[in-house]
Amino acid sequence: MTDEQLLRYSRHILLGEIGIEGQQRLLDAHTLVIGAGGLGSPAAMYLAASGVGRITLVDDDDVDLTNLQRQVMHTTGRVGQPKVESGREALAQINPDVAVTALRERVAGARLVQLVASASVVLDCSDNFATRHAVNRACVAAQVPLVSGAAIRFDGQISVFDARDAFSPCYACLFPEEAGFEDAACASMGVFAPLVGVIGAMQAAEALKLLIGITPSLAGRLLLLDGRAMEWTSIGVARNAACPVCAHPG
């Protein structure tokens, strides 16, 4: 670690739970962020500021004027640009030492499995169940921890699904794919701007804890936020022994 890095990350290093060794783990880590919108913006920005060495941003959308109310990684001047390119520019301004890979694509299948397997932790900041389930399956297969967040209207949620732990549920244990949950789009339902900042920042916090080794994580718990009343609800989530994604014989 250079003298400049020691100074940049000094407030982390002062924390006994992190120190120089923990900060070095962040510098050596690779995070995969699926979605560069409302949740992905604060999550990626905090990961970069915290010194995560490599960040891969995945999103196939362009910056739109309607995004700017909540997607703080993007600016008016970058309307029309691919979100991942706008995001790479924003993260470089925060911390030029972070290596950011911008992938303008909707990943799936073998490509998704490959990307997940290369990551230390995955942050699902997407906005649809199909992507969430695909990311979950890839994380279970690769035994890579997943930090999942969602936000709509005034309601947010976050949890961690850690396939390295035999007792930890996966996303499909909580939201079975066959249950047929319907996607709720911001374009039709609306979303309270600071809500995505709260959930996205918490996703970054959980990811950093996983990378450093700070326990406990949110694995086995689902946090729900009522943004109107500003009340949190914590729900215990058990592993489903019959889950088609993560269940194993015996």
10-residue mean pLDDT profile of the chain (250 residues): values are: 96 98 98 98 98 98 97 98 98 98 94 97 95 96 97 97 94 87 67 97 98 97 97 96 79
Decide if 42 is inside a domain.
yes
- pLDDT digit string, tens, across residues 210-228: 999 999 999 999 999 999 9
Decide if 64 is inside a domain.
yes
pLDDT at 189: 81
Label residues 9-31 b or e (16+ Cβ within 10 Å = b): beebbeeeebeeebbbbbbebbb
Decide if 245 is inside a domain.
no
Specify the CATH number for the domain of residue 33.
Answer: 3.40.50.720
Decide if 250 is inside a domain.
no
Decide if 191 is inside a domain.
yes
pLDDT at 250: 34
- pLDDT digit string, tens, across residues 39-57: 999 999 999 999 999 999 9
pTM of the model: 0.95
Q: How far apart are CA 184 and CA 163, in angstroms?
A: 27
Range of the domain at 159: 3-236
Q: Which of 139, 170, 173, 186 is catalytic?
A: 186
Decide if 246 is inside a domain.
no
Q: Please count the structural domains in the chain.
A: 1
pLDDT at 85: 98
Strands (E), 17-65: 30-34, 54-58
Instruction: Clarify whether 246 is annotated catalytic.
Output: no
